[in-house]
Structure 1
């Protein structure tokens, strides 16, 4: 990939964060365009991708729960320690898509030495948050596959 492509992606993602769109003349959903740009940037410059994922995830004015979940998923691949810290700090306020990404990320590392960093308290909080969010049937459906994988990876303790 060329440096020009990298600069273009960085410029577009910066525009998305600052203005809410990547390209002024595009009719596509800017959140979808941002996700696509992040995928492309990841293959060119993973550090830049990580930077933009963090920026989007931490901003209340940028993106939506689905893009935030996408960014958290990328962060589990790019910087799992940061992703775990984010999950630990925000688990009780996560939306369904972000909680689903958190469950996927933890399940992804459940059979590695990184699992030693997962506390029983964190796993219990994820189950508690799931129970609360899953009261909404649509949210439950959004998280269904992530929840099934999480249950296989982490035993639920009795309440």
Structure 2
């Protein structure tokens, strides 16, 4: 008669598949990785929107400066900043009224230079909160 030894070691060697605990650990690791990837994506996406808003505000400021130096404008800025960039669109300096990455119109105003005589344009996006804070708060400016 041949007796077979039964040991824990031989049972482990013969088992197939994974235990529930092993599967739960793998699922938990995958969830942590997915969560951190989503957070990283959101951060990168938010930063890219701010970068686009800053770049566009700077480009719009340059368009205002160019317009203010042209004979078409009478060598001055548009008369009413409250109209946004309407005059620049009407005169062909811009193809359409610009909106920021959050869908809000860009704003602008004239600010005095340190000499107290000259003026310069400052352009801003209302930023992520979409509230016009006149270039303050989370607004993203051309400066």
TM tier, shorter chain? under 0.3
Rg larger in structure? 2
TM-score, normalised by the number of residues in structure 2? 0.23
Structure number having the greater helix percentage: 1
